[in-house]
Structure 1
Amino acid sequence: MSPTKKFQNFTERPMGDKKVKAIPGVGNVLSKKFRDGGIVKAFQLYGMYLFMGKDDNEFKEWLKSQFHVDAVNIDQITESISEYARRHK
């Protein structure tokens, strides 16, 4: 399966001031959950990923426990943020 346009836009371009909804796997419902938890920008989730030492499993557990993200969206979000980190060292 080829990457989606949303995935390409997120991983290939600088983080800048992107909203959390720019991350693949984040739609209207998750965007509201994140906003309610104080996360409105993509760099905030990316920062948590870095804070967790780029540990995919720890990040996934955090998304699940803090925001009740389902498995499919957890995988999309983590894959996108992980790929962004790989490309933008």
Structure 2
Amino acid sequence: MSSTSKKHDNFVSQPMGEKSVRALPGIGEVLGGRLMTNGFGEASDVLGQYLKLDKDPERFHGWLKETCNANSKQRSDCYDGLEDWCANNL
């Protein structure tokens, strides 16, 4: 895997708790606001969707694009963060 961002490393290394959706790698203020508008206010809400979609990258990327219009890099960063978090915590 290529190098990761500090945000990714922080997200992956900490318990999910009640992290804001904006704590997800690839998700900032704008996308976080869009996700919140669609009922996904916490990172755990997006994790639930990731698991519901069977951790399938194509399905998750499609959902994230449809839900908040995330671009390819944002979708990949978010997916990779959730994948690594699950590998470390589940």
Write out aligned runs for 1:10-21 (5 A). 10-21=11-22
Which blocks of at least 5 consecutive residues in structure 2 are unaligned?
Answer: none
Which blocks of at least 5 consecutive residues in structure 1 are unaligned?
Answer: none
Corresponding residue of 1:72: 73
Equivalent pairs: percent with the same residue? 30
TM-score (norm 2): 0.92
What's the offset of the Cα at 1:16? 0.5
RMSD, aligned α-carbons: 1.1
Number of matched pairs: 89
Q: Once superposed, which parts of structure 1, at least 4 consecutive aligned residues long, lie more than 3 Å away?
A: none
Corresponding residue of 2:58: 57
1:29 aligns to 2:30 (yes or no): yes
Give a deviation string over 1:10-45, Cα, whole Å, max 9, x none.
Answer: 001110010001111111110110111111100000
